[in-house]
């Protein structure tokens, strides 16, 4: 495998042609995100089956041939922890990458450790030891050191061999479609980050009323546009906590604005007119245009919901251990509580739970819903096992059927005549 640092446009374009011929490429980036609105791309690492290269975007100014590859359904692009790599594609093209894979996600369907760092993944899948020592490098500085070049190349040259082993194994396990669903979800989540509802991720929104939410939304988008114009991180324009406080206080003039603690800084005074205008626009909205309140956070839900969620967590952990799948990929606490609200309390406001959709329903949907219905009892079968529980269906006559240890729970062959009690 030859290795090189590309600084010439024609070399880069020729390599992009070879990527299309190969039909597959490993992809990684080095970037700095502390100082700019969008992370600053400092280096591209690309690897075909027979060559790994580094592309210097400070020298190779037109990266269009690469972004076009990311939108090409005939080329497989494979990354590790590739959320930022997908973001770069969306930022530079306005479109989502098409045939995008992530070996970090894929490994979560072959073992219970997730997420695995690159060094750990290389060792687990390939048995090789890599040496990551440049994580905190300033990748903007030129020239790159020999150590940086070595690190950057190593960060990409193992990706395709890892994916080859993973995909073959996942195909044998009939899990390749599951993994593809998660790749699609990763890309969809990245696209939604840029959507109109991005402001809903602000912390503390659930404590605001509808009018205060409108103020928070308007100030949020003022902050985003200002951050983009000044190319600074949004939180350096206005901190989240100050934004929420402005939504509560709704200052009407500059004196009221700077009376808020930490708002009397020079940069805030300079932006006072724009901030006050954003607030005024929100206060003028008619009632029927005010945003709805977001749902309460998990800690504010009922005790029953918490308790049932914990019970389902035990069942889900055991099922994931049986199947050797990372539980954190299958479902989190919020997913379990959503299922409880939907199935037990009839709360349909937020749609069908994720645990009852797609491959997750196949893994655990029936099992968890039957636990909630009292159709299944849990018993400790082998205390020494990493999945010590056995789930059993029960009827009036006793055990009807044990659940499969490797597949999804199955409903009993004949229904019980009255609702059984769970043990």
Q: Indicate if the pLDDT at residue 230 is higher than 50.
A: yes
What average pLDDT does range 269-295 have in this prediction?
92
Residue 395's pLDDT is what? 61
- Averaged pLDDT of the chain: 88
Local structure of residue 106 (DSSP, 8 states): H
- How does pLDDT run across 98-131, given as a tens digit for each residue? 999 999 999 999 999 899 999 999 999 999 887 7
How many CA atoms does the CB half-sphere of 307 hold within 13 Å?
Answer: 4
Q: Which residue has the higher pLDDT, 238 or 195?
A: 238
Ordered structural domains, the chain, with CATH: 2-194 (3.30.420.10), 197-289 (1.10.150.80), 298-402 (1.10.150.80)
**Among 31-35, 154-158, 225-229, where is mean pLDDT lowest?**
31-35
Q: Indicate if the pLDDT at residue 86 is higher than 70.
A: yes
Q: How far apart are the C-alpha atoms of 325 and 348, rounded to whole Å?
A: 28
Give the tokens for residue 219: 């100030």
User: Model confidence at 409, in pLDDT bands (50, 70, 90)?
Assistant: very low
Q: Indicate if the pLDDT at residue 2 is higher than 70.
A: no
Residue 124's pLDDT is what? 95
User: Model confidence at 376, in pLDDT bands (50, 70, 90)?
Assistant: confident
User: Model confidence at 316, in pLDDT bands (50, 70, 90)?
Assistant: very high
State the residue for tokens 């990527």. Answer: 19
Q: Which residue has the higher pLDDT, 382 or 321?
A: 321
**Cis, peptide link before residue 115, omega less than 30° from 0:** yes
Beta strand pairing call for 24-32 and 376-380: unpaired
Residues forming beta bridges with residue 45, ordered by sequence position: 28, 54
pTM above 0.75, yes or no: yes
């Amino acid at each position: 495998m030859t290795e090189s640092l590309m600084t010439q446009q024609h070399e880069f374009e020729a390599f992009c042609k070879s990527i299309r011929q190969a039909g597959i490429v490993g992809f990684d980036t080095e970037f700095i995100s502390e100082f700019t609105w969008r992370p600053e791309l400092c280096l591209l690492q690309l690897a075909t089956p027979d060559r790994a290269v580094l592309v210097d975007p400070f020298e190779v100014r037109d990266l269009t041939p690469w972004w076009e590859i990311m939108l090409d359904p005939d080329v497989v692009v494979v990354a590790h922890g590739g959320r930022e790599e997908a973001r770069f594609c969306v930022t530079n093209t306005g479109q989502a990458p098409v045939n995008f894979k992530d070996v970090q996600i894929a490994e979560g369907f072959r073992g219970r450790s997730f997420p695995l760092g690159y060094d750990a993944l290389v060792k687990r899948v390939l048995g090789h030891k890599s040496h990551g020592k440049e994580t905190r490098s300033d990748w903007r500085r030129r020239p790159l050191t020999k150590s940086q070049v070595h690190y950057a190349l190593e960060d990409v040259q193992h990706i395709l061999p890892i994916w080859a082993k993973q995909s073959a194994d996942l195909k044998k396990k009939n899990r390749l479609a599951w993994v593809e669903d998660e790749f699609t979800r990763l890309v969809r989540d990245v696209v939604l980050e840029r959507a109109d509802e991005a402001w809903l991720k602000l912390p503390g929104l659930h404590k605001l009323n509808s009018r205060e939410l409108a103020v928070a939304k308007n100030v949020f988008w003022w902050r985003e546009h200002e951050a983009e114009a000044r190319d600074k991180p949004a939180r350096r324009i206005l901190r989240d906590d100050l934004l929420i406080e402005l939504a509560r206080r709704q200052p009407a003039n500059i004196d009221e604005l700077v009376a808020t603690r930490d708002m009397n800084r020079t940069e805030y005074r300079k932006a006072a007119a724009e901030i006050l205008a954003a607030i005024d626009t929100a206060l003028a909205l008619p009632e029927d245009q005010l945003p709805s309140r977001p749902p309460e956070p998990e800690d504010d839900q009922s005790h029953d919901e918490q308790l049932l969620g914990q019970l389902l967590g035990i069942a889900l952990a055991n099922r994931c251990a049986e199947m050797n799948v990372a539980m954190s990929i299958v479902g989190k606490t919020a997913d379990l509580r959503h299922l409880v609200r939907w199935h037990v309390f009839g709360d349909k406001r937020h749609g069908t739970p994720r645990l009852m959709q797609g491959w997750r329903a196949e893994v655990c949907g029936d099992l968890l819903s039957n636990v909630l219905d009292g159709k299944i009892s849990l018993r400790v079968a082998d205390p020494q096992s990493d999945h010590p529980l056995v789930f059993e269906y029960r009827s009036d006559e006793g055990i009807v059927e044990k659940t499969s240890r490797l597949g999804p729970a199955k409903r009993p062959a004949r229904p019980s005549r009255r609702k059984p009690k769970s043990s």
